[in-house]
Amino acid sequence: MSKQSNVPAGHPDEHRSSDKRFLVVLIAVGMVLLVALAAGAAFAWLFQGSTPGTRLVYSIERSDPYSEAVSGDDLTEPLRRRLRHSFGAGLAVNALDEDQVEVILPTRDAIQIANAKRLLRSAGVLRFLPIANQTKHANLLNLAKASSQTPSTSRDVLDDNGSVVGRWVTVGRDATAKTGDDVTPLTVQLNSLTVRDTQTGEVMQLPSNLLGNDSEVKIARWMNTQNIPSIDVLAVVESEHAVGGEDLAFAAATFDQNGNPAVAINFSNAGAAKMLALTTANTPSGNTQTQLGIVLDDQLLTAPNILQPIRGEARITGNFTRAETDLIVQILKAGQLPAKLNPEPISETQVNAPYNLLDLISP
């Protein structure tokens, strides 16, 4: 005679038994999935491939006290983050020791390698600094002129208390706009007569007739006659109005009103408040307008006049190519490096760049 259960339907014991069976099935399914995932990951890791690549070795530039505390390990992730937009499987960044990092690029293409070197050379330090003018910043300009008695290539200008109140930033040259008489114009129109020889640190006054319309060509032509390859202009450093790359929420390549390549930037809420304060403090005074220098790694990208307060968004415009705006966007998105690399690699060799299947599916 068959044995019948004495547990009535709907009894709590029957529910508990059902729950246990469900739990056992769930655990079994989970184990199967876990084993499958582990096997797949192991296969992906074991599957090794390689592609023709280039190995670059860089040393850390030890030019200031802050860089002394930075090791090769501190740079690996920021550099990887900066390069991974351009390079996929086979990209590797490793610390060799405290002072050196190795970068393996999965390419031997000369153009791609040159673009990577530009990304690696940039520390990614973006700053928004007013350019000093005689009307509003006479004291700062006098400090800078006084230092011309003992020329120095230091970029910082200090007050009597040793605080940084100004910084010399380098004005770029536009190689795409070279004139018929072999003059390479400046990339920025200057409103200030006070400049500095980048190489010697000598502070000098430009002839007043060089300013105004077409000053980019006039000043460049004058520089050629003086055998000065590069000049700096003085930017104002105000700690209470400091706005930098850390205040950005978004950056993207775009075009200006004339259809030329540009960079669109949006500020975070905190950054928008800082930019509003900075530009409000430097709105036009009478007939005097202050230029807002947009400075990347001490290179003056552009310097538009501040006509009204700026809030949440802005555009970086200039004589850029599309490749240059893409480069700037990549640098801004990846963020500032904890220390700068020396401009040229210690070594450059051709290698095979290894990768596995996980590299192919990693973001």
Give residue-wise pLDDT tens across range 217-235: 999 999 999 999 999 999 9
Both 168 and 292 in a single domain?
yes
Residue 160 is assigned to a structural domain of this protein: yes
CATH of residue 76's domain is 3.30.70.3400
Both 271 and 160 in a single domain?
yes
Both 90 and 151 in a single domain?
no
Q: Please report, as a single letter, which amino acid is at residue 140.
A: L
Residue 165: Cβ-neighbour burial (10 angstroms; 0-12, 13-18, 19+): buried
Residue 283 is assigned to a structural domain of this protein: yes
Round to whole Å and give the CA distance between 310 and 302.
16
Per-residue pLDDT at 143 exceeds 70:
yes
Residue 39 is assigned to a structural domain of this protein: no
Residue 301 is assigned to a structural domain of this protein: yes
Which residues does residue 165 pair with via DSSP β-bridges, in sequence order? none
Both 105 and 228 in a single domain?
no
The mean pLDDT value for 64-70 works out to 79
pLDDT at res. 114: 93
Both 73 and 216 in a single domain?
no
Both 56 and 142 in a single domain?
no
The 3-state DSSP class for residue 137 equals coil
Provide the mean pLDDT of the chain: 84
Q: Tell me which residue range forms the domain holding 58.
A: 48-123+337-361
pTM exceeds 0.85 for this model = no
Both 86 and 130 in a single domain?
no
Per-residue pLDDT at 15 exceeds 60:
no
Residue 259 is assigned to a structural domain of this protein: yes
Both 218 and 346 in a single domain?
no
Both 72 and 141 in a single domain?
no
Both 105 and 223 in a single domain?
no
Both 151 and 228 in a single domain?
yes
pLDDT at res. 45: 46
Round to whole Å and give the CA distance between 280 and 258.
27
Per-residue pLDDT at 17 exceeds 70:
no
Both 97 and 230 in a single domain?
no
CA-wise closest residue to 101 among 360, 347, 323, 322: 347
Backbone φ and ψ for 319, nearest 5 degrees, come out as -85, 65
Domain count, the chain: 2
Backbone φ and ψ for 321, nearest 5 degrees, come out as -90, 165
Residue 25 is assigned to a structural domain of this protein: no
pLDDT at res. 41: 52
The mean pLDDT value for 310-326 works out to 87
Residue 145 is assigned to a structural domain of this protein: yes
Residue 15 is assigned to a structural domain of this protein: no
